[in-house]
Structure 1
Amino acid sequence: MANRGLKSCLCVSLLFLIIVTIVIVTLSFTMFKPKNPKITVQPVGLEDLASAISPNLTQNISLGMMITVGNPNYGSFEYQNSTGYVNFHDSVIGEVPIRADFVPARSMIMMNTSADFMIGKLLKDPNFWSDILQGTLNFTSETALPGKAGFLKIFKLQATSYSSCDISLNIKAKNVTSNCISKIKF
């Protein structure tokens, strides 16, 4: 009799374990599947750019940046201090320090930082003056944010968020458009 009860308990426990495993696997491939972050970059203070360049063309200048990071995942992401790089025709002409931060699950954070541009290096690029005459300067930026992705405050995985942005500065209109592509790797 006790043997029969033990077999029934074992069968029910095994069935329960199979159902829980199926539910966890299904959720991990659907709802909890990692989604890429949504990142936008918006320079601040473009009005002051011309006056900052005019006095001394060899001086480095800083341009304020507003970076918005949206986390569409059901897990949080905590990243370390990092540096983003701004390129002009495959030449690094600026650095953007990014301070460590925490992005909660399914939320958005905004951070202020500044891009330090090497004006002398930019002016030496043969493409600079032709782009100025066309009225648009095109830049790219690349950033890698190493950190930890957390889920349910229990599981933590090493992850890195990569972002690549195409940034177009319209000189006459003094506005900037950016298009960023982001991905996360575990």
Structure 2
Amino acid sequence: MYDKKKERGRSAKCFVCVLASFVILCALLLLLASIMRVREPRAKIRSATSNKITHNASPSSSPSFNATLIIFMTIQNPNFGVFTYDNSSMSVLYAGAKIGDTPINGDKVSFRKTKQINVTVDLRSAQVPVTGNFSGDMNSGTLNLTSYAKFSGTVRFLKIMNVKKSIEMACAMKLNFTSHLLQDIQC
């Protein structure tokens, strides 16, 4: 005997199962897409000090300075994948002229972690063209500096997907000759 009610009940159950499977699959894909969305890693200078500053701001000779800065910076990875960056460098500029440069070794930042990096930069005023602004800044005891670094690398998700990302960091700061600190750091 053929029972139409049983057949309708089976087809209704089958339809509900297929629909539920489709909804669950869509929810899983939505969750996976939100986790695997690639965000930009961020780099920031947290603080900086100087262990050695020598300067000459006397009016009888041309102004000059030499300084060794220790810069404490962080790279934050907000992704669910590892960010691996290549070797790069950090430059320090005064009035558009490069007065210091240092290499930064490549490394990796684990997923959803922040990595701290200490960078030592030697600053020399020999590259600065002597202008009225430089003499005035030297006499005031502070110099307005800009630092620039670029980190290029990839974000890797579960060894399946690699996405290339670059971080550019430009920070303005003031080098104080009396306190031997970098002040007013704005990235």
TM-score interval, normalised by the smaller of the two chains: 0.7 to 0.9
Q: Please state how far the C-alpha of 1:74 moved relative to its aligned partner.
A: 3.6
Q: Contact 1:41 / 1:67 at 8 angstroms: preserved in 2? A: yes
Contact 1:88 1:122 (C-alpha < 8 Å) held by counterparts: yes
In structure 1, the residue matched to 2:185 is 179
Opposite residue 39 of structure 2, the aligned amino acid is P
C-alpha distance 131-11 of structure 1, shift in aligned 2 (>3 A): same
> Compared with structure 1, are the counterparts of its residues 146 and 47 closer, same or farther at alpha carbon in structure 2 (3 Å cutoff)?
closer
Contact 1:36-1:72 at 8 Å conserved across structures: yes
Deviation at 1:80, TM superposition (A): 0.4
Distance 1:37 1:141, change over 3 A: same
Look up the SS of the partner of 1:34 in the other structure: coil
The residue that corresponds to 1:161 in the other structure is 167
User: Using a 3 Å threshold, how does the CA distance of structure 1 residues 114 and 125 change in structure 2: closer, same or farther?
Assistant: farther
Q: Which residue in the other structure is 2:19 paired with?
A: 11
Residue number in structure 1 paired with 2:145: 139
Unaligned runs of 5+ in 2: 1-6, 56-61
In 2, the alpha carbon distance for the partners of 1:91 and 1:162 equals: 19
Could you say what secondary structure the match of 1:160 adopts?
Answer: strand
Q: Counterparts of 1:178 and 1:65 in 2: how far apart (Å)? A: 16
1:47 and 1:174 in contact (8 A); partners too: yes
State the structure with more CA Rg: 2
SS of the counterpart of 1:127? helix
Alpha carbons 1:64, 1:112 under 8 Å: kept: no
Q: Could you tell me whether the CA contact under 8 Å between 1:60 and 1:116 is conserved in 2?
A: no
Superposition RMSD on alpha carbons, in Å? Answer: 3.5
User: Does structure 1 residue 48 correspond to structure 2 residue 52?
Assistant: yes
TM, length-normalised to structure 2: 0.72
Letter in 2 for 1:49: I
Counting matched residue pairs gives 172
Q: How does 1:18-33 map to 2 (within 5 A)?
A: 18-25=26-33, 27=34
Identity, % of aligned positions: 20
Corresponding residue number in structure 2 for 1:77:
83
> Contact 2:43–2:167 at 8 Å: present in 1 too?
no
* Shift of residue 106, structure 1, vs aligned partner: 3.0
TM-score w.r.t. the length of structure 1 is: 0.72
Secondary structure at 2:52 match in 1: helix
Structure 1 unaligned runs (5+)? 52-56, 182-186
